[in-house]
Each structure stands twice: as structure tokens, then as C-alpha cells.
Structure 1
Amino acid sequence: MEDTLVNRKQLNPEAGPEAAYGARLRSVRERRGWKQDELAAEIGYSGRHISAVETARKPPTRQFSTAVDVVLKLDGTAESFVREWGEIRHGVLLEGFPEYLHQEARATEVRLFEVGVIPGVLQTREYASAIESNSVRCGAITADQAAERVQALVERQAALERHNPPMIFAVPDESCIRRPIGSATAMEAQLDHLVAFAELPHTVLQIAPYEMGERRSFNRSVNLLTLPDRAVVSYVESETQGHLDRELASVVPLVRTYHRLQAEALSQAASVEMIHQARKGTS
């Protein structure tokens, strides 16, 4: 497919990040004297796909952006399309979270607490998609942004499945396994996934039961990372904002509170049994 002068669509890079990406892709391609089909042949996509990305009808992906960078010799440069793709993806994430993801990918230990929903790195694609679909229905994000969030989660999970993965300690509140998300089938699969997670050699899963009452230490999402140099950082999230903290004065109390939470939570065996009982309730 070639963009002839007759049907050539005028691009508006101000229309949004994906429109800006597409307009720049067209500009760089044309400076090289390449037609859409010629670039497509080089990167393993169709001319129709190139056209859809340039006109913002189809969002770019990491794979696509990497292929463009390699062919156009932009890998690692300020003009990298992978860099721009990352900025687009991070644009749908809370403030502070992109930096957290960078640190999480290199952490040696990850500690998680969550209320109401399964922690992100433990979510199945179907469970995560159900959450994001509701955000689309509420008008909070677009369908494309929902897809980007789910893809970002999948990539985040993959980063934690590396060689020599970090120890992951997860202490979700009981509400996380009791609250139905998506279809009954999706929720069953999610609970099965938690049980499988608990069986891994580098994981610990403990449920903070309702009976803890006021002794439950946290009332919002808390993530703690131990980095290769043994430094610890925290990430605390509200509905609208995330905050990454490296200051010992505020991080150390969170670490101590997390240890108390673990001491009072159910054992892993008791937690798995509770998950099995919750799964029966979804059938």
C-alpha cells in the first residue's frame, strides 16, 4: 500500500502521542526516500500496517518500534522510536510508576501489599483486561490505552521471570480473593494462578485475613523493592498518583510495618487453603 498524493492523509501531530509518533515515522521515512511498502518489506510488516501507524489508526508496539529503529539505525539514539513508544506507554501510567517499573526489573526482592484487587504482577491477562475494560466504560481511558496498560503489565511480569528472578513476597488482603472481577471463569483462573504462584521456589504468598481487623498495617497499595546494592525503595499509590521514595527515614518504617503484617497474616499453606475455598465460591 502506498500513500499517493491523491489519497494522502494530512497528519496532525498535535492530536496526541500516537499521532505525533505516526507523523514522525512518515517524516523520517520520506527523508530516506522510502515508500511505505519499502519500509514494510525491511521491517517485516505490511504497507497497510505502516499506513495505519502513520495515521494513528493503529498504535505502535515495542516490536514494531524496535524493527524501525534497527532498519533506520536509530537504536539507542535520541530519535529512537522505542524511546518514543515507551513515552507513549508510560503516558497511561500513574506518575512515579514508570520509574518504579525500572527499579522493579532490577530488584533482588519485591514485597507487595494490595487491597481489593490482586497485585498487578500476579494478575492474569483476563483479570487485568476486565479491570481496564471497566475503566473504558467509565470513560477514564480509551480502549487503546486499556490495551497498552495490559501489555505493559504483561511485559512487567516477563521482566520478573528473568534468570535469577527476585524473591517476591505478596501479602494481599482477603478482599483481593473475595471480590469477583470479570467472568466466573476468569476469576477461577485467577485464583488458580495464585495457587501456582505460591508453589514457585522464589515466592511467598500470605493472605491478610479480614479477622486481622485494625491490626492490618496498610490501607492502600504498598510496594517495597530491595535493589542489588541492598538499598530499599518504596512505592505507594493512591487513585490518582504514585510516589517512589528512596529516603531511609520514610522507607524503613514501611519495611518494619510490612514485617509485622507478614507476622500476623496467614501462613502460605493456610492462604492457599483459603484461596481454594474462595474458588469453590466462584463455581
Structure 2
Amino acid sequence: MVNLKDLNPDASAEAAYGARLRSAREERGWRQDDLAQRIGYTGRHVSGVETCHKSPTRKFSIAVDVALGFVGTADSFEREWRKIKHGVLLQGFPEYLALEGRAAEIRLFEVGVIPGLLQTREYAQALDDAAADRGVITHEQADERVAFLMARQEALVRDVPPLLIAVLDESCIRRPVGGPDVMKAQLQHLIDFAAQPHTTLQIAPYSVGEHRPFNRSVNLLTLQDRSVVSYVESETQGHLDRELGSVIPMVRAYHHLQNVSLSQTDSVDSIHHHRKGTP
């Protein structure tokens, strides 16, 4: 099958995906039908993806990576698909995710919303649906984001799960998301989370005031070799750091945060109180 339509990779993320797919295919001297045969699709489907008449899927992207030898490389089409579906990932986040999946210990701090690893599907869906309503992402992308988050949570369910420590600013449990039923279920999920043997949950109350050391999302990973990695994220920027000179102060600040936060028992009592008070 031959399609001579000119492609404009600057038109959109999907257009860039399609243009790169055509370029990689043509570099190998393959027709669309040739690639299609190797990945289990039709030439018409390949043409549709190249020309943006069809959106790429994760399954399609993985098959393309296998055919082109791009699995696990910087040229991976699956990686590009994730950027399309979940928005352009902040710098450092893809590498962070890879490390998170095999970390021995995960420490989290969040302000304003429940951190992703502790969200229920309904809570996450409400957040992403709201983003779609604002036009930040499409509703299809919202569903993909939720599915991606659920897969990320499932990756931590293993025979020897990581120690998971979460400190939440009080605003996380006070801010209503998704309506009363969704919020009640989310707060119960936090209570259930705290009851697990490999978890710790603390609330940093408003009374901590200026003594709270962080004002944005913080993630600290302890890897199997005992090295520590930090990932700090704002609305528009993400930063992954392995340098001891900057990571160790983050670890010390996190310990300080735990010291000024409520104990787990008091934190769970506070969550129970807010759950009962949810209309």
C-alpha cells in the first residue's frame, strides 16, 4: 500500500509519531504492508496511524518496537505513546517510574491531593475527568491516565512489597474530590492502607505552619543497593536527583516532616473524623 500524503510532524504529538513511524519504516525499505505483516496489523491501519487518521495504541506501539528493534531504547514508540496518552511527562518522571517499580522503600509527601499511589480509581478518575473538562487533556486521555495509574499501583504488589511511607498535608484529606461517596471511599482507602504491615501514614496538620519543610510534591526512593534517589515535582517541572549532596538534605527534611506530623494512630483518627464529617 502506498500513501504519498505529506506529513507535518509539528502539527501534533500524534503527527510527530506518525511521521517518525513512516521515516523508520522507509529507512528499512519497507512498505506499509511489510511493516503491517510484521506487527499483525493491516497496511491500511499502518497508513492510518502515519497520517493521523488512527490513533496509535499501546499494543500497536509495542509491536512496532519489537519489529524495529526499539524495545527499551530512547527511540521506543511505546514511550512516545505514553507521552501522547498521559501528556508530556515531566523531566525525570519516566526514569523515576522505572526506579519506583523496584524500590525497597518509597517515601511520599503531597499537598492538596492524595498521592497517586494511594488514590482509588474513582478519585483518580474524578481528577482526570476534571482535567478533560478544562480541555487540558481529552476524555480518552483521562481514561488512559487512570489505567496507567492503576498499573503503576499494581506494579508494587509483589511477594516482598516495598516499605511505603506517606506523609500527607492536611489539605489532602480536607479537599473534596468527586463528591461525598468518592471522598468517603478514598478516606476509607487511606485507613485501610495504614493498616498494612509494610506501610506508614501520617498527616501533617495545618498547625505545623511554617515548620513544614516542603511546599510541593516530594518522592524519595531507597533502592535495593541502599542508594537514595529524590524526585521533586511542581505543576510544570520535575527533577530527578541521585547526588548525595542534594539528596541527603531531602532525607533529613523528610525525617523532620515526620517528627512534626501526627503519629499514625492520630493520623488515622483524624481521617476517621473527616470521613464521618463528609456530607
Tell me if both proteins adopt one fold, taking TM over 0.5 as the criterion.
Answer: yes
Question: How do 1:28-177 residues align onto structure 2 when only pairs under 5 Å count?
Answer: 28=25, 32-33=30-31, 35=33, 39=36, 43=40, 53-56=49-52, 59-70=55-66, 75=71, 80-88=76-84, 92-177=88-173
1:223 corresponds to 2:219:
yes
**CA offsets per residue over residues 255-279 of structure 1, 9 Å max, x none?**
1121122123222222222222212
Change (3 A) 1:263 1:57: farther
Q: Distance in 1 between matches of 2:112 and 2:13?
A: 32
Q: Which residue of structure 2 aligns with residue 248 of structure 1?
A: 244
Q: CA deviation at 1:177?
A: 0.6
Q: Distance in 1 between matches of 2:38 and 2:15?
A: 23
Q: Distance in 2 between matches of 1:87 and 1:122?
A: 23
Name which of structure 1's ranges 252-261 and 13-22 shifts more when overlaid on structure 2.
13-22
The answer for unaligned runs of 5 or more in structure 2 is none
Aligned 8 A contact 2:2 2:32 in 1: no
Name which of structure 1's ranges 48-57 and 156-165 shifts more when overlaid on structure 2.
48-57
1:278 corresponds to 2:274:
yes
**CA offsets per residue over residues 11-67 of structure 1, 9 Å max, x none?**
54432222233455567499655659x949964x79997676455355433333224
Q: Distance in 1 between matches of 2:178 and 2:37?
A: 38
Q: Distance in 2 between matches of 1:202 and 1:17?
A: 40
Q: Distance in 2 between matches of 1:154 and 1:58?
A: 25
Residue 190 of structure 2 aligns to which amino acid in structure 1? L
Q: What percentage of aligned pairs have identical amino acids?
A: 62
Q: Which residue of structure 2 aligns with residue 197 of structure 1?
A: 193
**CA offsets per residue over residues 65-111 of structure 1, 9 Å max, x none?**
22444466654567643243245457522222222222222221111
Superposition TM-score, scaled by structure 2 size = 0.81
Q: CA deviation at 1:178?
A: 0.8
Q: CA deviation at 1:213?
A: 2.7
Change (3 A) 1:74 1:253: closer
**RMSD over equivalenced CA pairs, Å:** 3.3
SS at match of 1:14: coil
Q: CA deviation at 1:231?
A: 1.4
Change (3 A) 1:81 1:274: same
- Count of residues in Structure 1 that have an aligned counterpart in Structure 2: 277
Aligned 8 A contact 1:198 1:204 in 2: yes
SS at match of 2:127: helix
